[in-house]
Amino acid sequence: MVIDVHHCVREVFGVVAIATDSLTKVFDDGTVAVDQVSLTAGAGEFLVLLGPTGCGKSTILRLVAGLEAPSAGHVLIDGQVVDHLPSRERRLAMVFQDYALYPHLTVAQNIGFPLRVRHETATDVSARVNEVAGQLGITPLLRKLPGALSGGERQRVAMARAIVRQPLGFLLDEPLSNLDAGLRAELRSDVAALARRLGVTTLYVTHDQSEAMTMADRVAVLRRGVLQQVGPPEQVYNDPATLFVAAFLGTPRTSLLEGAVYADGDRVVLDLGSQVIELPADHPVRARHTDRVTLALRADALTPAPPGHGGPTLSGTVRLVEHLGHEALVHVDTGALPTSTERSRLEVPDAPTLARMRPAARPATAKTEYGFYPVYDPELPGEPPTVGEVVVRVPVAGLPRLDETITLAVDVDRLLLFDRTGARIRLSAR
Ligand SMILES: Nc1ncnc2c1ncn2[C@@H]1O[C@H](COP(=O)(O)OP(=O)(O)OP(=O)(O)O)[C@@H](O)[C@H]1O
């Protein structure tokens, strides 16, 4: 009788949790790449590590894989500390963005490679390779060489090679980043579905928020090696704990504006300097009278105000209309003071945003009736951005013209406010 060793292992170990406990990595040059990160990917969970470039995502993966030694803290697999275990004994399969397929081996030989180095019989290797190729829909490719494959096919072969050993966990480091956008979107669901079908605990690294949002059971957002927030995608998006998380998650980019709260008789307003947003008189932010705040506004908090709209509004001048087909992204200059990157801690504004900010040298905002006179904190380095822009999605049927003044309805339930430290001001009425 032939016993399938791998199936036995899976049955004995089952699906396992992968965890880090105060994991810290300081490289020899003093770089603190990972700073006391405690995270758990539950058994069978698809956990995505998300953050800007350099935030320590790959280093966490390498520490979990055993390719780097932690400076402090621990890695746990199935509740057991594995710090002493060499990489190969951790039974975790890693897939990198470059796949690292052997160019002179066929697809079948590439997939079977991890089994052959364990001296399994040719019959067993072949059976397992065929099984995995079938699972991934790549059986027709088995005789080809990697050079004859498309990017997406190569990616599937790399996944096949990772699962052939029936690992206890997958560690995937931006495995889709070398593919074009269309294929990436297609493979996203494939990879997530495969991991779920196999029930394998997965740590998936990406800096692409839409990838994280569509694939993850939970997302862990990192900044400079420090864990900011962990939760299901919709929770992290809708209920960000910090200004950084609110700013990092948002397509189009979340707008950040400086403001102050004023509660005056039966009025409660957010004073942006150039204008005020009138809030309902019983709005809980009333308790924050005179506080300086940062307002994070995403496109989904704004709509062009219909005639006679009675709720909170924000107005501004149309500066840019980006056509997306059935709708357009309309960039509206509110005259308010944008939040500096030093305060938001969002260190990598994209090039188009920067390019738009710089040439539009224009003094930001004037003093309002409530006396909020926004100025940049003198201790903050760098040149302040000059345009307090918000972005709204508008159906093509009702597009405004450039330089037109438009009024936007603000969804109060989607107002995200943050204090001077970047911590969320939670409004109990939400
Ligand atoms: N061997 C090393 N020696 C010194 N510093 C390193 C080393 N490897 C990584 N770093 C630094 O550690 C920090 C985290 O790097 P890491 O590769 O983990 O980031 P990342 O979030 O995966 O970024 P990316 O998305 O660009 O891959 C960075 O500042 C990086 O420059």
Q: Report residues whose beta carbon is within 6 angstroms of any ligand 1 atom.
A: 27, 29, 31, 33, 51, 53-59, 207
**3-state class of 41 per DSSP?**
strand
Q: Within the chain, how many helices (H) and strands (E) appear?
A: 11, 20
From 31, 50, 96, 248, mutation site for ligand 1 pocket: most ligand atoms within 8 A of C-beta: 31
CA of 386 to the centre of ligand 1 (A): 32
What pLDDT does residue 313 have?
A: 95
Q: Which ligand 1 atom minimizes the distance to the CA of 207?
A: 25
What pLDDT does residue 98 have?
A: 65
**Cα gap 430→413, rounded to integer Å:** 6
The residues with which 270 forms a beta bridge, in sequence order, are 261, 277
Q: Are 212 and 206 in contact (CB under 8 A)?
A: yes
CA of 383 to the centre of ligand 1 (A): 27
Q: Which ligand 1 atom minimizes the distance to the CA of 58?
A: 22
Burial class of residue 36 (count of CB atoms within 10 Å of its CB; 0-12, 13-18, 19+): middle
**Cα gap 368→387, rounded to integer Å:** 17
Listed in order, strand segments (DSSP E) in 85-236 are 92-95, 169-173, 201-206, 218-223, 226-231
Dihedrals phi, psi of 223, to nearest 5 degrees: -140, 125
Residue ID of nearest Cα to ligand 1 atom 3: 27
Residue ID of nearest Cα to ligand 1 atom 18: 56
**Check: complex ipTM more than 0.95:** yes
Identify the residue whose tokens are 């997958």. Answer: 170
Q: Are 280 and 288 in contact (CB under 8 A)?
A: no
Q: Which ligand 1 atom minimizes the distance to the CA of 51?
A: 21
The residues with which 81 forms a beta bridge, in sequence order, are 76
Label the pairing between strands 255-264 and 292-297: antiparallel
Maximum C-alpha span of the chain: 87
Q: How many CB atoms lie within 10 A of CB 126?
A: 15
Q: Are 243 and 298 in contact (CB under 8 A)?
A: no
Q: Which ligand 1 atom minimizes the distance to the CA of 225?
A: 14
- The residue ranges of every structural domain in the chain are 5-238, 250-418
Listed in order, strand segments (DSSP E) in 42-95 are 46-50, 72-77, 80-81, 92-95
Residue ID of nearest Cα to ligand 1 atom 29: 54
Structure tokens at 13: 């170990």
pLDDT tens for each residue of the chain, 430 residues long: 333 334 433 433 358 999 999 999 999 998 899 999 999 999 999 999 998 888 899 999 999 999 999 999 999 999 999 999 999 899 898 887 666 789 999 999 999 998 988 888 899 999 999 999 988 889 999 999 999 998 888 888 988 998 888 888 999 988 877 777 777 787 888 888 888 888 889 999 998 888 999 999 999 999 889 999 999 999 999 999 999 899 889 888 888 999 999 998 889 999 998 899 999 888 899 999 999 999 999 999 999 999 899 899 999 999 999 999 899 999 999 999 888 766 666 654 444 443 443 333 333 444 445 555 554 443 444 454 457 899 999 999 889 999 999 999 999 999 999 998 889 998 764 4
Cis amide prior to 252 (ω within 30 degrees): yes
**Cα gap 11→14, rounded to integer Å:** 5
Amino acid at 352: P
The residues with which 47 forms a beta bridge, in sequence order, are 203, 218
Vertex 120: Cα angle to 118 and 121 (nearest 5): 155
What pLDDT does residue 70 have?
A: 97
Distance of CA 110 to the CA centre of its chain: 32
Q: How many CB atoms lie within 10 A of CB 88?
A: 13
Identify the residue whose tokens are 């029936």. Answer: 166
Q: Are 58 and 206 in contact (CB under 8 A)?
A: no
Contact partners, residue 397, CB within 8 Å, separation at least 6: none
**3-state class of 74 per DSSP?**
strand
Q: Are 137 and 88 in contact (CB under 8 A)?
A: no
Neighbour order of strands in the sheet with 201-206 = 92-95, 169-173, 201-206, 46-50, 218-223, 226-231
Among 200, 168, 169, 203, CA closest to 12: 168
Its CATH class, for the domain covering 5-238, is alpha beta
